[in-house]
Amino acid sequence: MSKWFAIALLISGVVFGAQAADKIYQWVDQDGVTHFSDRPQVGATELKVDVAPPATEGPIVTPRTPLKKKQKPIQYQVNITSPSHEQTIRDNEGKISISASSTPLPLNSMGYKLVLDGVPQGQITKMGSFQLTNIDRGAHTIQVQLVDDSGKEIASSKPITVFLHRANAFGAGAAAAGGG
């Protein structure tokens, strides 16, 4: 088996090395072993070998990287979930609870800001829940804004109007008695 391996190795070396040699010679020695060489030997026969031209490298093709699409900025939407638009709220202490949410969820660097009648109220919060107290009776416009850490507005809810009713300061019968 090693004899055949040696012959195959020799032939492959000759074939691949044939580019450097103009002629290939073959002979069989007294032990019956076939030999190949690029130098003539006594009793050797010249072999005709067709050698293909060496493979050349084609142009190097670099894979084309897909163009990065410009990512659209995330469009946030803020909605006031409570109270509803034109809701009447009855509270003698003037309390109004407001809840808002946004889609998608805001980043950690963002917060909610409450605006009542065009005036920002309280602190920016991470949760969209607000509690107002001692608000005067009447119609009020409420809006919630989503802001970044510098206070820049990212998105805003549609403004809603609520009506706050507080009991008359003179009591329930004051209007009937002419006081009020």
Q: Does some domain include residue 118?
A: yes
One domain for residues 43 and 81: no
Tens digit of each residue's pLDDT (9 = 90 or more) over 43-53: 888 877 777 77
DSSP letter for 7, please.
H
Which of 72, 145, 141 is CA-nearest to residue 110? 145
| pLDDT above 50: residue 18 | no
pTM value is 0.55
Q: Does some domain include residue 19?
A: yes
What are the Cα distances from residue 35, in Å, to 38, 40, 101, 104?
A: 10, 11, 88, 79
One domain for residues 136 and 93: yes
Q: Does some domain include residue 120?
A: yes
Tens digit of each residue's pLDDT (9 = 90 or more) over 125-155: 999 999 999 999 999 999 999 999 998 999 9
Tens digit of each residue's pLDDT (9 = 90 or more) over 69-120: 777 888 999 999 999 999 999 999 999 999 999 999 888 899 999 999 999 9
Determine the Cα–Cα distance for residues 101 and 112; give it in Å rounded to an integer: 9
Look at the chain and report how many structural domains it folds into: 2
Q: Does some domain include residue 62?
A: no
Higher pLDDT, 94 or 22: 94
| CATH number of the domain that residue 156 is part of | 2.60.40.10
One domain for residues 81 and 15: no
Q: Does some domain include residue 65?
A: no
Range of the domain at 38: 2-47
